[in-house]
Amino acid sequence: MRGGHNALSTTELQARGTFKAARHRDRLADNLTTVDTLEPPEHLDSEQKAKFLEVCDHLAGFGVLSLADRDAITTYVETLELQNLAWQSVQKNGVMIDKDGQPTTNPAMRVYLQCDAVLKPLRERFGFDPRSRQGLKTKPAIKAKLDPMEAILGKNK
């Protein structure tokens, strides 16, 4: 597998005149079919399913939602729920708790931070923060070519 954070789309390579069919024609990113939504997994509760569909709506709005995203979206939703539960514990019990007469860090705080470590790269890949949205590459919509004769006759609107 090749490419990286600076990989160019096929469209960009063609525009620069650096597209090489032997090297670039079978790129997975250019062959993924986008979809409008995905079905949430059955094991998610109603709130998690709603969040799953919300994420799908965002990605579909960017024009990048694919069947291949289902597992990553599921991980995102499950981890987000776990992080929320950990934060509720931190709010209720505090960052520091008393354990055997000694102050110690609330274990929920560690869970919260571990969840954030999982969520951060997913947010970046999904374009859920301003900086990552700037780098999100989407395929431009293919516009139908206008028939000049239909334009003259007023049929292209």
Per-residue pLDDT of the chain (157 residues; tens, 9 = 90+): 445 555 555 556 556 676 666 665 555 455 467 788 899 999 999 999 999 999 999 888 888 888 889 999 999 999 999 999 999 999 999 999 888 888 999 999 999 999 999 999 999 888 888 787 776 665 554 445 566 666 677 665 5
Report in angstroms the alpha-carbon separations of 126 from 18, 72, 78, 149: 28, 10, 16, 43
Which DSSP symbol is given to 87?
H
Token pair of 89 as six digits: 């514990």
Rounded distance between C-alpha atoms, residue 14 and residue 19, angstroms? 5
Which of 68, 75, 69, 88 lies closest to 48, judged by CA? 75
